[in-house]
Amino acid sequence: MNASRTRVPVSIHSADPLTQAGVVSSLRCDPTVELLDEGREDAASAGDEVAMVLTDRLSDGTEKRLRSLARDPRRRVVLVSDRLREAEMMRVIDSGVRVVVWRQQATPGRLVSAVHTAARGESLVPADLLARLLAETRRLYRSTVAEPGTRPADGLTARELDVLRLVANGMETREIAERLAYSERTVKSVLHGMMTRLQLRNRAHAVAYALREGHL
């Protein structure tokens, strides 16, 4: 997706008409957002857009919708939800969601920011969600840790590890750049190159990979 375009196409998906109407009202006022026709079928709407899914819980139907929307690589998925349990967090990441916003924190400004973050191909999850995701990943890693000498060869450079350690601490791109004396573009380039090479979906997935391989 070309994030430099003036307006970002956004489709809204929700089973609750009132919730959907509230989000539509919030986004409609922003000149950088182009709301797509609510009545379109998913298959017809595949393309260069951000899909925002609104839900109060991660049901099987919601997870199926997330995976269906994320199947097209040109479409970036944002999830606006109530709190998620640990197992649900892993399913959300695995489904291809790029950005998560807690529903109680979904102000108009935060929703617009989430849209543009996803449109740029970046990922963002709330700090408390990332902390719990890391804790769950560590638990899973420790329960399935390989015998010494049987782990795959290292797949991360020293620079990538430096950046990932700070991502794991919940730092934003700007904070990482300041800590490592890099430009924000360099930080984004390091993360993008690593995630492309290792076929990782987003920053949380990259941290999970590093933990699983024993790097963090």
Tell me the mean pLDDT in the region 163-181: 89
Tell me the mean pLDDT in the region 161-171: 88
What residue spans of the chain are helical by DSSP H? 17-28, 60-70, 86-95, 108-119, 127-143, 158-168, 173-180, 184-198, 203-212
Give a yes or no: residue 105 inside a domain: yes
- Token duo for residue 172: 């934003």
Q: Domain range spanning residue 142? A: 131-212
Going by C-beta distance under 8 Å and a sequence separation of 6 or more, which residues neighbour residue 118?
A: 50, 76, 77, 78, 98, 99
Is the model more confident about 2 or about 22? Answer: 22
Distance CA 96, CA 71 (A): 8
Tokens 């941290």 belong to 207
Residue 3: the pLDDT is: 45
The yes-or-no verdict on residue 149 having pLDDT over 60 is no
pTM of structure = 0.61
Angle 86-95/203-212 helices, nearest 10 degrees? 110
Same domain, 68 and 51: yes
The CATH number that applies at residue 53 is 3.40.50.2300
- When divided into structural domains, the chain yields a total of 2
Same domain, 36 and 107: yes
Distance CA 11, CA 34 (A): 9
The yes-or-no verdict on residue 112 having pLDDT over 90 is yes
Give a yes or no: residue 72 inside a domain: yes
Q: How many CB atoms lie within 10 A of CB 147?
A: 6
